[in-house]
Structure 1
Amino acid sequence: MPRTLLPILCAALLVVASANGAHAAVSQSQANRLGNSLTPSGAVRAGSSDGVIPRWTGGDTTIPAGYEGTGDHHVDPYKDDEPRYVVTASNLSEYRDVVPDGAAAMIEAYPDTFRMKVFPTRRNHTVPDHIAQNSRKNAVRASLVDGGNGVQNAFGGYPFPILHGSSEEKAMQAMWNHLTRWRGRYTEREFAEVVVVGGQFQPITMRQEVFFNWNREGGSPETLDNVINYYLSTVLAPKQYAGGGILVHETLDQVKEPRKAWGFSAGEVRQAPSLGYDAPIASSGGLRTVDDTDVFNGALDRFNWEYKGLQEKLIPYNNFELSSDKYSYDEVLGDYHLNPDLTRWELHRVHVVEANLREDARHLYHKRVFYIDEDSWNIALADQYDDQGNLYRVTMAMLKNFYDLPGVWIDIAAYHDLKVRRYHVQGLVNETEGSRVFKDDFPGDRYFSPFTLRRRLSE
C-alpha cells in the first residue's frame, strides 16, 4: 500500500468509529481500582472529608432482627437512628447547597407540610461476586454505540463502572449504568399504585414479574439478542380492570429496535406499537410518561446529554418505614406528597446528569436533571422542566436496601406535578399480600411470549 494512502485510511477508520459512537474503554490499570480505591460498582470507597459520608466497608447484608424470610423487606434495621436535622421552609437557605432543586421546589410549593428528615448516611449497597467480576470485565471492553443509544461488549454488571471520555459520553454511561443496574435475575411483587388528588385516591393493585436477561446465568454479550429484560404486569384490582395488563420485551438499542410491547385484557392480546418516550401512562392520571417509569427508561436519542460531576446531595435512602404494614395507605399518603414523617433522607455522593431536548426532537420535558446514587447507580431524584424553563415535575425514588437481593433498589416512586398539585405513587405494599421476591430460577423465555400469554388467557 502506498504510504500516502495510510493517513487517508486511518482518518477514514476514525470517522467510522466516530459515526458508530464507540469510545475506547478504560485501561486495565484503571479497572484494577475496582474493589480497591473504588467499590466493585465504581463508587469512591473513601468517605467525605468531614466524615458525614462514611467510608464504604462492603455494604450491608446483615439480616435484621424480625426478618421472617424471602420477601419480608419491611423490617427497619435503622429504626433507632435519630435525625441529624430537618430541612423545612424556614431553614432551607441554610442547607440549599445540598438540597436538589426539585426537593427545594417541593418545600417552596408546600411550605407547611413538606420537610426532609435527614438521617446518618448508610452506604449499604453491595452486589454479588459475579456482578462485581462482570463489572470489572465490562470496564475494559464496553463502549457506547449508535450515538449512545446502545452498549456493546458488556453483560451482567455495570457496563461503565468508571466513567470516562467527554461530558456527553460520561452522562450517557451513567444513564446506562442506571438502565442495566443490578436488580437480581428474576423478581416478582404485588403492589398498588395511586393518583392522589387533594388527599383522595383509588388504589390499583398489580402483580409484576421481571426477568433481567442482562443478568441471565451463563449469558454473555453475544446471547443478549438486544433484550435487557422481560416484563409482565397484570392488574389484580379493582374488579373492572382485573386481568388486564402489559407484556414488554425491553430492547438494549431502542433506536435500532424499539421495545416490543403487548397489551392484554378480556382474553385478547394486542401489540402496542407506541409505548415509549413521553406517551402518558393511563393509570398515572397522566402524571407519568412511559420513560418516567423507573425514573428513566428507554432511548436517549431525543436529548443532548451533559455530565455535571459528582456532588454531595440529600436523596431518599433506606426508606423502610414507608412500606411497613404498621401504616395504612391513608397514613402513608398526604394530600400533596408522601408523609414526611415516614421518609428518610441521607447525604450521598451522586452523579448529576442534565438532559436538554434536541432542537429536532419532541418531548413533554425540555430539560431533565437526574441525581444518580454513586453506590448503586439508581436514579434517586429527577427534576423535569417545561418548554418555558420552569421546573414543574419532581420524581422521587424511595431507595432502600434489600437484604436478599442483595443491594439497594427503588421501593416506592412518587411523581409530583407542581402545576396541577397532584401526585402519583407506584410500589405501595402496606395493604397488599406481596413484596419483592427475588429468585434465580424463572419460568423461562416462553413464559414471556405473547403466544404463551394468549394461551394462558384462553384457559
Structure 2
Amino acid sequence: MYRKLGAIFLAVLASQAQAKVDSSQAARLAQDLTPLGAERAGNAEGSIPSWEGGVRPPAGYQPGMHHPDPFSGDQPLFRIDAQDIDGFRAKLPAGLVDLLERHADYYLQVYPTRRSAASPERIYAATRHNAEHAELIENGNGVSGAVAGIPFPIPQSGMEVIWNHLLRYRGEQTRIINNQAVVINGRANLIKRDRYLLYVYNRTGMTPDELGNTLLYYRYQVTAPAKLSGTALVVQDPLDQVLTTRRAWRYSPSDRRVRRLPSLAYDSVQPDTSGLATADVVDAYNGAPDRYEWVLLGKREMLVPYNSYKVHQQGLAYDEIVLPGTLNPALLRYELHRVWEVEARLRTGYSHPYATRRFYLDEDSWSILAADLYDARGELVGLQESHPISYYEVPMFNSTLETLYHLKTGNYFVDGLDNNEPMYDFDYPMSPQDFTPQALRRAGN
C-alpha cells in the first residue's frame, strides 16, 4: 500500500522551493545546535540553561506508570496574577494576559527552566539527514526528501517551522484512553474515548518511497457517556492534503451505519465538541497549511507551559483539574523558554473563525506550546495552550493536556484528561488495515 502511494506521489511532484542547508550548516546540529536544531547554550542571564540531552526518568519509574515528576523538588520562582501582570506582558501570549485579566482568581506559577525534551537517537540521525535533503514542494503544501525526524531543523521560513511541528516525533503507534471536556457556562461535560494512532512518517525503517503521501492514521471509539458510547471515527491523513484530501468516516451506533464525512479539516467543527473546536486545532494545529500565509517573526523568550507533570499525575479527579472558567492554576507549571514565533494570516478568498493565529513553538521539541487566535476584525478571541511532559519510555516530549479558551464567552475545551485511565501504550499492535471504514464496521458489531 505504501509503495503504491509513493509511486503516485513522486509522479506528481512539481515546483520545489529550496529549503535544505549545506553540510557546514547541518554540522551545527552536533555543535552549537541541539540534534533537533535548538540553541544548545543557555541565555546570557542564566535563566535558561544549556540543553544537556533531556531528562532521565526518576528512580523507580516503570513503563506503564503515569510519569512521575522528575522536578518535584522545584519551588516556584514567582507568581503572576492580574494585579502584577504589567511587568510580564512582553513574555506572555496576549491570550494568556487576557485570561489573567478576566479571571481574578487565576494565576501562573513560574518555575525554574528545565530543558527536558529528548527524542530517540534515530530521530536525531534522521534530522541531520533531512537538514541537507528536505525541501518544500507544491508551494509549501508538502515536503520531499525527509522521512522521520524534523525536516527543517535550521528553518528559513514560517512554512518550514509549521512543518517541523506537523512532522515532529510523537512515537510510532499509540493507544490512548483519555477524556475531553466541553465547558459551557461553567459546566463541564466529559467524553471518554479509546484512541489509536499510527504515525507512518516516524516508523522505524520507513523510506521516502514507502512513505509516499501518508502521514498518519487515527481512530477512536467513544466509551462514555452512555448516550454516545459506540460512536467511532477513523481518519486517513495524507502528508500533502492539497494533493490528496484527508479522508474520514464516522460510525453511528443508533443506525449502525458508517458515513463518509464530507470534510474534517480546516474550519469544519470537530464532532462532539459542541462547536468549541474546529478540526485544525487538534494538536494546536494540524492539516494542510495552504489557507494561510506563514510569517516567521523570529525567536523570543516567553513564559510557556512546560514539564506539566503535576496536572498529569495519577488519581486526580477531573473536576479538580477542570474548573468552571479555567484549568486549576495550582496544577500548572510555567517556565521561561525560547520559542519560535510564527504568524498565520488567512489568505484572501478563505474564511475561518481565526483569521490570524500567532503560534509559539518550543525550540527543543518543535511543539506548539501556545497560540493567540484573532478574528477577521483583528480582535483577540482565543487562547490555545499545550501542557507537555516527557514520556520517558519512548522517549518523546508531547502534551499531556490541551486547552482552547474562548475568551469572549468564557467557555473552553480540554483534551487529554487521562489521570484515571491506563497510561498510553506505545507498543500496541496495529496496521493500516485497522483504519478503514470496514474496521469501523467491525468495531461497531
TM > 0.5 between the two?
yes
The TM-score with structure 1 as length reference comes to 0.91
In structure 2, what is the equivalent of residue 64 of structure 1? Answer: 58
Aligned length: 431
Alignment of 1:48-59 (within 5 A): 48-59=43-54
Q: CA RMSD in A?
A: 1.5
SS in 2 for 1:336: coil
Given residue 181 of structure 2, which amino acid in structure 1 is its aligned partner?
A: V
1:343 corresponds to 2:332:
yes
Deviations 1:89-119 (A, max 9, x none): 1111111221121111111221x12211100
In structure 1, what is the equivalent of residue 21 of structure 2? Answer: 26
SS in 1 for 2:153: coil
Contact 2:19 2:136 (C-alpha < 8 Å) held by counterparts: no
In structure 1, what is the equivalent of residue 359 of structure 2? Answer: 370
Determine the C-alpha separation between the residues in 2 that align with 1:225 and 1:153: 11
Q: Which has the larger radius of gyration?
A: 1
Contact 1:74 1:321 (C-alpha < 8 Å) held by counterparts: no
Structure 2 residue runs without a partner (length 5+): 1-12
Determine the C-alpha separation between the residues in 2 that align with 1:189 and 1:251: 21
Aligned match for 1:35, one of 26, 30, 33: 30
In structure 1, what is the equivalent of residue 10 of structure 2? Answer: none
1:195 corresponds to 2:187:
no
1:260 offset after TM fit, Å? Answer: 1.1
1:362 offset after TM fit, Å? Answer: 1.5
Determine the C-alpha separation between the residues in 2 that align with 1:52 and 1:452: 51
SS in 2 for 1:315: strand
1:82 corresponds to 2:71:
no
Aligned match for 1:415, one of 404, 407, 410: 404
Given residue 152 of structure 1, which amino acid in structure 2 is its aligned partner?
A: S
SS in 2 for 1:209: strand
Determine the C-alpha separation between the residues in 1 that align with 2:212 and 2:338: 34
Deviations 1:118-142 (A, max 9, x none): 0001101111111011101110010
**Runs of 4+ that moved beyond 6 A:** none
In structure 1, what is the equivalent of residue 287 of structure 2? Answer: 298
Deviations 1:154-210 (A, max 9, x none): 10110111112xxxxx10111011001111101111101111134321211001110
1:20 offset after TM fit, Å? Answer: 2.1
In structure 1, what is the equivalent of residue 155 of structure 2? Answer: 163
Structure 1 residue runs without a partner (length 5+): 1-17, 165-169
1:93 corresponds to 2:82:
no
Determine the C-alpha separation between the residues in 1 that align with 2:439 and 2:269: 27
Aligned match for 1:119, one of 111, 114, 117: 111
1:360 offset after TM fit, Å? Answer: 1.9
Contact 1:138 1:159 (C-alpha < 8 Å) held by counterparts: yes
1:451 offset after TM fit, Å? Answer: 2.3
Contact 1:119 1:345 (C-alpha < 8 Å) held by counterparts: yes
The 3 A distance-change label for structure 1 pair 224 and 19 is closer
1:419 offset after TM fit, Å? Answer: 1.2
Deviations 1:61-116 (A, max 9, x none): x221453x323234112122111111111111111221121111111221x12211
Deviations 1:241-294 (A, max 9, x none): 111121011111111111111111224222112111011123222111100111
1:326 offset after TM fit, Å? Answer: 4.1
Contact 1:71 1:438 (C-alpha < 8 Å) held by counterparts: no
Given residue 27 of structure 2, which amino acid in structure 1 is its aligned partner?
A: N
The 3 A distance-change label for structure 1 pair 250 and 93 is same
Contact 2:402 2:414 (C-alpha < 8 Å) held by counterparts: yes
1:21 offset after TM fit, Å? Answer: 4.4
Determine the C-alpha separation between the residues in 2 that align with 1:149 and 1:455: 34
The 3 A distance-change label for structure 1 pair 106 and 21 is farther
1:304 offset after TM fit, Å? Answer: 1.2
Aligned match for 2:251, one of 252, 264, 278: 264
Determine the C-alpha separation between the residues in 1 that align with 2:281 and 2:389: 19
In structure 2, what is the equivalent of residue 4 of structure 1? Answer: none
Contact 2:127 2:151 (C-alpha < 8 Å) held by counterparts: yes
Determine the C-alpha separation between the residues in 1 that align with 2:225 and 2:205: 40
Deviations 1:372-400 (A, max 9, x none): 00000000001110111111111111111
Given residue 100 of structure 2, which amino acid in structure 1 is its aligned partner?
A: I
Contact 1:323 1:430 (C-alpha < 8 Å) held by counterparts: yes
Deviations 1:396-418 (A, max 9, x none): 11111111121210110011001
In structure 2, what is the equivalent of residue 131 of structure 1? Answer: 123
In structure 1, what is the equivalent of residue 430 of structure 2? Answer: 443
SS in 2 for 1:33: helix
1:341 offset after TM fit, Å? Answer: 0.6
In structure 2, what is the equivalent of residue 14 of structure 1? Answer: none
